Amino acid sequence: MKPELIHSLTETFEGHAQQTESGVEYWLARDLQHLLGYSEWRNFHQTAISKAKTACEISGHAISDHFVDVNKMVQIGSGSEREIDDLMLTRYACYLIAQNGDPRKEPIAFAQTYFAVQTRRAELIEQRLLETERVQARQKLTATEKELSSVIFEQTGGNEDFALIRSKGDQALFGKSTQAMKAQWKVPAGRPLADFAPTIILKAKDFATEITIHNARQHQMLTEERISSEHIANNQAVRNTLLERGIRPESLPPEEDVKKVERRLSSEERKSLQNPDTLE
């Protein structure tokens, strides 16, 4: 396919993209029909769209999230109008429709690649956002735990038992000791358990620690034993909340080493600054 045609088709597909009031991008199915070279709506709807809906459902996505029935008025001559059926399609829906078309047709062959690439880009962006959120949650927990250590020192005159207090908090949150969770998650020797924890666990630990800091200051807790009891109670309370919502902390799988994720994000950021037109 010639570069000129690729450029033209790209502009054509992007030119037909619209946005809802909330900023969600979509295409109208009747526009896509003509972009893909289908002359008849009935044929397009009964073949490509129908198969795409099935593929959407099989993949575990709600059809109603990607294929939305709408009606619109069209002119039929002499200034009169009539209402016709149409569909609002997400980029993912367009991709599925293209995948169920005839790749021997040039517009469909282009659309299959085009929407696949665009969908993949969206997935990469989502993945990076999730990874960034986890890195930030880990950094926040580190800062919060340092603050708790300072509070213990300020109010008790020592913080030698901080590691033990944190470990007791883990026991209350997971129902297992820190060492048991490290063994379960296969955490390398000398590495913190939190570096392999899912984002929700990082935030849970941070929340419990923030409560401990608040109450230790508010109630002037002057012994490590009292602060330790407070920390255990807060982690137990957070655990109970998670359990009530169907989340069992000790049953969650470990995540990738957060240090590796952090290095990868930093590397990708440097690359994007050097070449802002690429995502990788």
The tens place of each residue's pLDDT in the chain, 280 residues long, gives 455 555 566 677 777 888 888 788 888 999 989 888 888 999 889 888 999 999 999 989 999 999 999 887 666 666 666 778 899 998 889 889 988 887 777 888 888 877 777 777 777 777 888 999 999 999 999 999 999 999 999 999 887 889 999 999 999 999 999 999 999 999 999 999 999 999 999 999 999 999 999 999 999 999 999 999 999 999 999 999 999 999 999 999 999 999 999 999 888 767 654 554 332 3
Assess whether 140 and 259 both reside in one domain. Answer: yes
Assess whether 83 and 205 both reside in one domain. Answer: no
Residue 107 lies in a domain: no
Residue 280 lies in a domain: no
Contact predicate 192/139, CB 8 Å:
no
The reported pLDDT for the residue numbered 231 is 97
Residue 119 lies in a domain: no
> Which residues have C-beta within 8 Å of that of residue 2, sequence separation ≥ 6?
none
Assess whether 266 and 145 both reside in one domain. Answer: yes
The reported pLDDT for the residue numbered 262 is 92
Assess whether 133 and 251 both reside in one domain. Answer: yes
The answer to whether the predicted template modeling score (pTM) of the entire model surpasses 0.75 is no
The reported pLDDT for the residue numbered 273 is 46
